[in-house]
Amino acid sequence: MRSSDPPSSPFFPSIPRYTLSGLVRQDDELLHFRFPKLSASKNLVHAVFTRHGGVSGGPFASLNVASSVDDFPALVQENLARIQGSLGAEELAQAKQIHGDDAVVLKRDYLVSADGSPSADALITNVPGRGLLVKLADCQGVILYDPEKNVIAVVHSGWRGNVQNILGKTVNRMEKEFSCRPAAILAAIGPSLGPCCGEFRGHEHYFPENFRRFQVRENYFDLWAVSCWQLMEAGVVGDHVEIAGVCTRCRADLFYSYRKEGKTGRFAVAAMLRKP
């Protein structure tokens, strides 16, 4: 076992934790990974991009998608253009992420902005051709897809997102806005801080009591399992959940890791409904 392999989990053992070799690797113009189950959905385009294939330099090398981290805006724009091209998206929507629990619903008449407003940590849409993107360095990028109603969401959930249950709230919002059935929704949890590196000192001051069952050793938590549990509490079926099982801090060669690097970029998890 290499140090980059996450330990096997006692939590939700039937939910796959793929590790890199279990994900679908796409080496064409812009390297990215896909989830095996989501890849079977023909109406869905999705991708976990890496830190490679862009134009940013220094600590942001090279496919940084966040201008809030002190990178040159023109370089970030070029990186986003490459991602938009790779997805084949007509437009690419993102939000200013604030570690909150709000979702923005982008319906047909909702104008998307390229500059990262409004403030939200989840984006939901039913508009084909409209790509949704979240920016990450250790936080979880989670893709939700309802193949019945043809609705997608991408969610940025760090530990603060888990504390506020943004995943459950986003599922609720899909139900409310689009009459999605939670039992129909597919969910995929991207590369992020694993239980190997998920140290939360002083957690008793900011984690709710019911997170304690997902503690793997003193001060270490399995937030992938927390997210699975929150999705299932919202009605998502365990069989419909998949986990990349890749820890960003262990694989900072491929992904940005705030915990490991401090000053660094943000990588992208993106999804789009394919145009008929």
Q: Which is nearer to Zn ion, 54 or 194 (CB)?
A: 194
**157 class by beta-carbon count within 10 Å (0-12 exposed, 13-18 middle, 19+ buried):** buried
DSSP bridge pairs for 17: 243
Q: Which is nearer to Zn ion, 103 or 269 (CB)?
A: 269
Total number of residues that touch Zn ion (CB under 5 A):
6
Nearest distance in Å: CB 257, Zn ion: 9
Dist CA 191 CA 198 (whole Å)? 13
Q: Is the CB of 125 or the CB of 192 nearer to Zn ion?
A: 192
Please return the burial class of 216, using the count of CB atoms within 10 Å of its CB with bins 0-12, 13-18 and 19+.
middle
Q: Which residue, among 1, 14, 266, has the nearest Cα to 135 in the 3D structure?
A: 266
Q: For Zn ion, which stretch binds (CB under 5 A), given 18-26, 79-87, 89-97, 188-196?
A: 188-196
Nearer to Zn ion, 250 or 273 (CB): 250
Q: How far is the CB of 6 from Zn ion (least distance, A)?
A: 7
Give, as ranges, the residues between 42 and 81 that touch Zn ion (CB under 5 A).
none
Q: Is 171 in the site for Zn ion (CB under 5 A)?
A: no
User: Which residues does residue 157 pair with via DSSP β-bridges, in sequence order?
Assistant: 140
* SS3 label, residue 126: coil
Q: What are phi and psi of 130, to 5 degrees?
A: -100, 110
**How near is the Cβ of 4 to Zn ion at its closest, in Å?**
7
Regarding 197 and contact with Zn ion (CB under 5 A), the answer is: yes
Give me the amino acid identity at 4: S
Distance of alpha carbon 61 from its chain centroid, rounded?
A: 20
Torsion sign over Cα 53, 112, 135, 190 = negative
CB of 251 to Zn ion, least distance (A): 8
Q: Which residue is nearest to Zn ion (CB)?
A: 247
Does residue 250 bind Zn ion (CB under 5 A)?
yes
| Contact by Cβ (8 Å): 79, 54 | yes
194 binds Zn ion (CB under 5 A): yes
- Tell the smallest beta-carbon distance from residue 260 to Zn ion (Å): 9
Choose, by CB under 5 A, the member of 44, 89, 247, 268 that binds Zn ion: 247
Indicate which single residue of 46, 130, 240, 249 sits in contact with Zn ion (rule: CB under 5 A). Answer: 249
Q: How far is the CB of 244 from Zn ion (least distance, A)?
A: 12
Got the DSSP string for 33-86? EE-HHHHT-TTEEEEEE-S-SS---GGGTTT---GGGS--HHHHHHHHHHHHHH
| Residue 273 interacting with Zn ion (CB under 5 A) | no
User: Is residue 137 involved in binding Zn ion (CB under 5 A)?
Assistant: no
- List the structure tokens of 216: 């793997």
Question: Which of residues 191 and 194 has its CB atom nearest to Zn ion in the complex?
Answer: 194
Comparison of 35 and 224: residue with beta carbon closer to Zn ion: 224
- Shortest distance, position 199 Cβ to Zn ion, whole Å: 10
- Taking CB under 5 A as the criterion, the residue among 61, 184, 196, 237 binding Zn ion is 196
Residues that bind Zn ion (CB under 5 A): 194, 196-197, 247, 249-250
